[in-house]
Amino acid sequence: MAHLKTDILVIGAGSGGLSVAAGAVQMGADVILLEGHKMGGDCLNYGCVPSKALLAAGHAAHAMTTGAAMGITPVAPQIDYAAAKDHVARVIAQIEPVDSQERFEGLGVKVIRAFGRFTGPATVQAGDDTISARRIVVATGSSPLVPPIPGLSDVPYLTNETLFDLREKPDHLLIIGGGPIGMEMAQAHRRLGCEVTVIEGATALGKDDPELAAVVLDHLRQEGITIAEDALAAEIRGQAGAIEVAVKDGRVFRGTHLLVAVGRKSNTDTLNLEAAGIETTRQGIKVDDRMRTTNKRVFAIGDVAGGLQFTHVAGYHAGLIIRQALFGLPARQKTAHIPWATYTDPELAQVGLTEATARKQYGAALEVARFDYHHNDRAIATLQTKGLIKVMVHKGRPVGVSIVGHQAGELIALWSMAIANNLKMSAIAGMVAPYPTIAEINKRAAGAYFSPRLFDNPMVKKVVRLVQRWLP
């Protein structure tokens, strides 16, 4: 048994932990990284990467059926579900070296492939090693939440951690959960030739603006996906190939496979947090706005901290830790500029406040600027006119943006920058986007904000007439 000492101990080699380890070691700190499972964590192996790869396969299949309006005869794609999953595996394999143990050891990080368990306020046991650290970063992520539905443990079911290993195409996939994971996998599987039913206990895509979420849900229903809302699962019955989900109002849904996608739970069970004086909440490890736990030598970042559970949030947290742990500089997290996206077709993206929350906060002082995709020339040319943008504006500055439509996840990044830097709408109006691009939608939304001030203002017209009289 070895006793090791280090400046920074990182527990968990997901996106947040890897970012801390890479940044810290390259700036001169001694770093030890613990990972008892797969390098790259959930995002690389079970989440963002494989899901987007499978969505891409579904998109390729769907494109073969939708060209009639452009003079292309639709054909029925020949879908090899196992080969689509091979594509997913190849994508993961191509990205894996960036997150690999070999790369991080090459950077100078000591990587120990074992789970960590606190034995004191500044000590952690990992396999045969005891590690003492000046600062410890817990970045253990989250896992699929499996709800205690009667009968669920008696039937085979999938989560995002097992779905991508499935090589047999489901005839009829039942999905419990109408959040981003559930809806993305619903569309991917529908386009790959499966019947799909989504069973949601409340409202599908319920965390997003309901007007924009409805655009996505209507499109998914048009593609043949059954979406049952207010359908709280009460009992699971059956066996492999013949599964029934009974909901509280008496409806019964039948399928061949079951995917459970009802949310995430923070990975804290094996950490022995009590030994370090670290408190938890129902959401995860309790942290302050500097991501410090109740043990001030220990930080928690990413999903395990119980806030917004996105890969880019974990990366953002990592930057806060680098500033504090390496340079002793205060760094506090903010969430107003954190975007998120659901990668269905059409995409759904959000940053800052939704219209409902903004109206509650600002009342009559709020203005909402809107622009529809069907007025964008590039969207018209590519027949992708389904969508709109809403910008919530207070005192000339955007406080929230909701977008549904083609490339919404790309468009939202500009608004994250604007909110992060407290920019005014005039900054967006002043940019120049190449023509014709979907990116013009952002500028046109800013134009929709200023248009009434310029074109419907009698004083502006009076000034213009006066100026015209005096100009040579």
Q: What is the pLDDT, as a whole number, of residue 472?
A: 78
pLDDT tens figures, 102-125: 999 999 999 999 999 999 999 999
pLDDT at residue 453 tops 90:
no
In whole angstroms, give the CA distance from residue 158 to residue 162: 6
Task: For the sheet with 172-176, list strands across it.
Answer: 226-228, 195-199, 172-176, 257-260
356 closest CA partner among 212, 177, 233: 212
* β-pair type (397-405, 347-352): antiparallel
- Answer yes or no: do 446 and 344 share one domain: yes
Task: Give the amino acid at 246.
Answer: A
- Answer yes or no: do 241 and 207 share one domain: yes
Q: Domain for residue 355, yes or no?
A: yes
User: Number of structural domains, the chain?
Assistant: 3
How many other C-beta atoms lie within 10 A of the C-beta of residue 202? 10
How many other C-beta atoms lie within 10 A of the C-beta of residue 146? 14
Sign of CA dihedral 435, 437, 443, 445: positive
- Answer yes or no: do 274 and 249 share one domain: no
Query: Can you give the CATH number for the domain in which 410 is found?
Result: 3.30.390.30
Q: What is the pLDDT, as a whole number, of residue 471?
A: 84
In whole angstroms, give the CA distance from residue 25 to residue 377: 48
Mean pLDDT score, 423-443? 97
- Answer yes or no: do 118 and 8 share one domain: yes
- Answer yes or no: do 128 and 156 share one domain: no
The rounded percent of the chain whose pLDDT value lies above 70 is 100
Sequence-ordered alpha helix ranges (H) in 64-209: 81-95, 101-107, 180-191
Q: Using DSSP, state whether 338 is helix, strand or coil.
A: coil
The residues near 352 (Cβ < 8 Å, ≥ 6 apart) are: 336, 337, 358, 392, 398, 399, 400, 401, 415, 419
Bridge partners (DSSP) listed for residue 401: 351, 391
How many other C-beta atoms lie within 10 A of the C-beta of residue 463? 11
Sign of CA dihedral 402, 404, 406, 409: positive
Task: Give the amino acid at 302.
Answer: G
- Answer yes or no: do 269 and 201 share one domain: no
Q: Domain for residue 119, yes or no?
A: yes
- Answer yes or no: do 375 and 301 share one domain: no
- Answer yes or no: do 171 and 183 share one domain: yes
Query: Can you give the CATH number for the domain in which 281 is found?
Result: 3.50.50.60
- Answer yes or no: do 273 and 138 share one domain: yes
How many other C-beta atoms lie within 10 A of the C-beta of residue 376? 24
- The band of 207, judged by pLDDT with boundaries at 50, 70 and 90, is very high
Q: Please give the model's pTM, rounded to 2 decimal places.
A: 0.95
- Answer yes or no: do 21 and 113 share one domain: yes
- Answer yes or no: do 257 and 359 share one domain: no
Task: Catalogue the long-range contacts made by 283-291 (C-beta closer than 8 Å, 24 or more residues apart).
Answer: 283/307, 284/142, 285/138, 289/332, 289/333, 290/320, 290/324, 290/330, 290/331, 290/332, 290/333, 291/317, 291/320, 291/321, 291/333
Q: What is the pLDDT, as a whole number, of residue 460?
A: 76
pLDDT tens figures, 141-168: 999 999 999 999 999 999 999 999 999 9
- Answer yes or no: do 217 and 258 share one domain: yes
- The band of 466, judged by pLDDT with boundaries at 50, 70 and 90, is confident
Sign of CA dihedral 435, 438, 443, 445: positive
Q: Domain for residue 73, yes or no?
A: no
Q: Domain for residue 310, yes or no?
A: yes
Residue 369 near residue 442 (C-beta atoms within 8 A): no
In the listed set 327, 354, 371, which residue is the last one of a domain according to the structure? 327
Phi, psi of 101 (to 5 degrees): -60, -40
In whole angstroms, give the CA distance from residue 198 to residue 226: 6
In the listed set 211, 229, 263, which residue is the last one of a domain according to the structure? 263
pLDDT at residue 56 tops 90:
yes
Mean pLDDT score, 70-85? 97
Q: Domain for residue 469, yes or no?
A: no
In whole angstroms, give the CA distance from residue 111 to residue 116: 12
Q: Domain for residue 83, yes or no?
A: no
Q: What is the pLDDT, as a whole number, of residue 459?
A: 83
In the listed set 247, 263, 279, which residue is the last one of a domain according to the structure? 263
Domain housing 315: 2-39+100-143+265-327
319 closest CA partner among 303, 310, 306, 332: 332
Q: Domain for residue 429, yes or no?
A: yes
Q: Domain for residue 64, yes or no?
A: no
